[in-house]
Chains A and B, each alone.
Chain A
């Protein structure tokens, strides 16, 4: 046990939290046990969801859920063995998921998956086939025989592109405006603050629906709407953080040494505000993915047959979900895990980078 570990243990004990060193086991045994648990768990999960127990029943669901839990525990042990005792398992799992989804979404056109929206081409495919990893449709097919795996991947492509671009717009436009407001104060700040408050008076989905009343549902419309949502959020945060930063000594020092406003903005404020903004952006991405999915779920975002996680879940309405749970569960799980990942990573980054949070 190194000196740092001891210090860590003492600090945690002082904070009333159980020490990590207490839970440490012999590493190799943990690793082996973890690998076995992971394998068994995955197998049980696949068996439970893959229809090896005949038609879906309560038993197969329970087996699948138990398998997922066991696999998660096993993975935790493997990670503890590979990385160290204090590893944040959830963070690793969700980061892995995010990398997988983003990677697949980027290379989607190169993947050997069927077309996600060509209903004519899928006429001969079985409709509503259940997920089976060893068939040609690992995640099953939908009502039109379209491959669910391919649709989930292309849905990710749409969702992620739109949300990330909108957040980037929000970050650049909103961040700039916010930092200016926080630095200049006075009338500029008042005007911007009031405008932001007015914009935030519209619940996200309501604003998107209002835009959808007049505009044709398209990627461009969605981008516009989501950017309008992202900008005021970033303005508010950038304003609050830069206000704090602007009061610090080094800004005053820079000013008294004759630095121009532009220089202070780029060299002093921006580098200090950016970490908070970026970690917050992860959470905004999560919110925008949900907003886009909600709109598509209502049939006013991305329209069928083009896939989006939201409109795929909407296919499960009117009793389809009860007969064919995978229609909702496959895109639902993808959506949930992605949003969860963005939320959690954003939160972890925030507690590390955001000066306001770390003080708590």
Chain B
């Protein structure tokens, strides 16, 4: 049950459909083993798709590398050298074999270099932005959801729900431009673009440059989280133990914060985990907008240069990141909520 974020439901019926196991092995181990097999298969498929997207489609990478106006022998020689004349499947297995050894090839398109090395320098930037965005989103979402859930259907609830829908509908490039206009050009509080690495400039400088890009992503995420958390909170507040707490005279704020929030937050935590994986490749727009040297900028450059080798590597890393994070979230979810564990066992 990966991809929870898009479905918006926490349990797909497919999981319920798996027949109950009769064996008395430790259920979590069995579940983990199955997840792991699935993970490997999905990764293999994803790698194959990655390779196909970039290589099977029409288009000749040698033209992108050498430029259009060269004698045909040059192209032929380069094709030979790059192994492009080999059968497709053979090329795929070569590529995969190398990738498994941490070698994603070298790209001849400037600035060139080892693809793996370039990805590894770019990855921390995207990962940090994604992590910060999810963190900020949670911080924004919790008070909003609490405010909504304290009086469901009230004026505040309806206003927040409507604006949440509005925010979800603002594409990140539009949001980013507006944020730049308001927070950079009007106030001058934040830098327009650029990046300071954590190791070079220290935490303060690093966060100073990371703040706006992360905020741009966080607003969209926060809208999704707060909606989800609000619905879960409203559902929890109908439960008997809340009624009991209220009957005993517990103040409303305490009921919300101490009793309802924790059992309701599971859905949001799951979604937050999944979006961490999704954002790893979803920072493309924000990185372009704010000029960050992350994976997103790398991909955009690869796409506009027609740099197939770089693209393959970067897409593979992103897809793997997503699949792995998703699997981790799924496992931790089972671990967090004992009810699901029992259900599956």
Contacts and interface: CB of A to CB of B under 8 A. Distances in A.
B307 A213 contact: yes
A75 to B, nearest CB: 15
A12 B152 CA distance: 11
B16 to A, nearest CB: 9
Interface in B90-125: none
A199 to B, nearest CB: 7
Contact of A321 (B38, B177, B235, B323): B177
B171 A293 contact: yes
B57 A215 contact: yes
B308 interface: yes
Q: Label chain B's interface by main secondary structure.
A: helix
A294 B171 contact: yes
B173 A198 contact: no
Contacts of A211: 53, 57
Interface of A: prevailing SS? helix
Contacts of A216: 59
A300 B311 CA distance: 14
Interface string B231-256: 10001000000000000000000000
Contacts, number: 179
Interface string B318-331: 11101100100000
Nearest to A347: B165
B54 A214 contact: yes
B84 interface: no
A261 B45 CA distance: 30
Interface string B13-51: 110010000000000000000000010011001100110
A95 B172 CA distance: 23
Interface residues of B, number: 66
Contact of A240 (B14, B169, B322): B14
A340 interface: yes
Contacts of B288: 298
B282 A203 contact: yes
A316 to B, nearest CB: 6
B194 interface: no
B303 A202 contact: no
Interface size class of A (residues with CB under 8 A): 35 or more
B147 to A, nearest CB: 15
Nearest to A286: B169
B13 A243 contact: yes
B169 A210 contact: no
A336 B169 contact: yes
B12 interface: yes
Interface string A335-360: 11001100110010000000010001
B304 interface: yes
A201 B323 contact: yes
Contacts of B235: 360
Nearest to B5: A200
Interface of B: 2-3, 6-7, 9, 12-14, 17, 38, 41-42, 45-46, 49-50, 53-55, 57-59, 61, 151-154, 162, 165-166, 168-174, 177, 180-181, 185, 231, 235, 278, 280-282, 284-285, 288, 299-300, 302-304, 306-308, 311, 315, 318-320, 322-323, 326
27 contacts: A16-B151, A18-B154, A90-B162, A198-B49, A201-B42, A202-B50, A202-B318, A203-B322, A205-B281, A205-B282, A206-B299, A209-B302, A210-B303, A211-B53, A212-B303, A213-B302, A213-B306, A214-B306, A216-B59, A243-B13, A294-B173, A298-B288, A298-B303, A313-B174, A328-B174, A335-B171, A339-B171
Q: Which 6 A-B pairs have the closest CB atoms?
A: A17-B153, A198-B45, A214-B59, A203-B281, A340-B169, A209-B303
